[in-house]
Structure 1
Amino acid sequence: MSVILGIDIGGSGIKGAPVDTRTGQLVGERRRIPTPEGAAPEDVKKVVAELVTHFGLPGAVGVTFPGIVQRGHTLSAANVHPDWVGLDADALFSEATGHDVHLINDADAAGLAEARFGAGRGVQGTVMVLTFGTGIGSALIHDGVLIPNTELGHLWLRDKHAESWASDRARELDDLNWKQWSKRVSSYLQHLELLFSPDLFIIGGGVSKKAEKWQEHLKVGRGRVVPATLLNEAGIIGAAMMAAHDATPAGETTTSPEPARPTPPRKTPARKTPARKKA
């Protein structure tokens, strides 16, 4: 089945929509429910179950989470309730919804979607997707393969915690204009460039809708910087992609959550020259 429900858990809202994972298109109207105050697991579980019931799709469900996700367990909770740490969230949501739920870090989901269907489509090499909002999310993708849970928003730039200093929330709290904010982000991107040398930076999150205000002010060394193109749909799409991939039985094929790698040309074996007979 190519149509999968994707759900994106955000700081202010939890959004869901059915996604055609072959094309990356939403095939139904997106529904948004405010995130419960405090974002405790039991409260968030009820909202996810409400969204699953609303859409009524069969099969697997993909859900994003704003923190580290390993084998369905949530291992950090920087901007949500601390009860998420160490929780088997796949089991929590699967039991609440009656569906097979697959969890993925929210920035990783956005990165997968942008790499396959958005601003990174067809780009080889290293792509870094950064989402600027309440914090800074990151996704690192090399030749279409995701390296999960990078959490690069928590790097330190000397005495500055990156997302506390350069997120969109920091811009608002410090009353920065776009040029001032872009100077901070440029310092952050240049630091990431020294560490990873990405070929392309994709800037997502809420700021991607206002690219004309900051794009000309961002300065990096060797790479390129472009705004994300999938905007608020990226997390939903990436969650559905991962669920479709994880739910595929062994021996079957489905749309991969990452872009397919180019197939190298086949080498033709060298023909052996027959030995000459002695006279």
Structure 2
Amino acid sequence: MSATWFITGTSSGFGRLLTERLLARGDRVAATLRRPEALDDLREAHGDRLWTARLDVTDAEQARQVVDDAFARFGTVDVVVNNAGYGVFASVEEASDEQIRQVIDTNLLGSINVIRAALPHLRAQRSGHILQVSTAGGQTTYPNFGYYHASKWGIEGFCETVAQEIAPFGIHLTIVEPGATPTGFGRSMATAPVMPEYEDTPAGMVRRAVASGQLPLPNDPGKIADAMIDVVDTGSAPLRLPLGVDTFRDVRASLAARLAEHDAHRDAALGVARTDVAAEAAG
């Protein structure tokens, strides 16, 4: 049975791959992007199973209107994929105010805009699955990605909350965490003037590794798109879906280190309890 998908950021990367695969198997896609003409080839091949709209996810009113139009066009939308993203590759001192706002507005507020616009429709149909594309950097960190991490850690916390709130309505939410993948996203990331003070720091080391092509891209973008489709098809709906050898390795190491540090402060944490609470716990 065919399904209907709403996908943001479909001009390239995972958004384009998902759109191609879904249309090829007979699904319907409401594809949003800044330049709808970028999908003219798919529209010619698949006709009215592809609906496109211009969308800047940072515009909350436009997001509501486009989501409303997509539901009106297809009647039901089974899956909402938040894929649009923006990144800046710079140390925290190097990025400009405008770049910082663009990262937060696109990755955090933009994703929130789309989810909030979709929820009334998904509640009304009492079904649906939201796929929020995050990254390994939604749970771990790397130098020069501070503002990207801020947006992705933020949207993951938001989505954990949303998942609890919408479960009673039969709506699922999965945070998808791809690792480093050759989708072209890295080449499109904004940069900033380099500060020489950071040359001999971890930020400088990572910058040189990227510039020399030494940063590995070990994951297959097509396989990641297929895994995203599979998680919907199987109905498993995990809260998080790590997709990448680096994602699994780095996030696991980060979680283990955080848990070890957390446990190391057990006495301090329990030591600040009110006297009556501490006595009750001891008894």
Interval of TM-score (by shorter of Structure 1 and Structure 2): 0.3 to 0.5
- By percentage of residues, which structure has more strand? 1
Higher relative contact order (Cα pairs below 8 Å, separated by 6+ residues): 1
- By percentage of residues, which structure has more helix? 2
Give TM-score, length-normalised by structure 2: 0.35
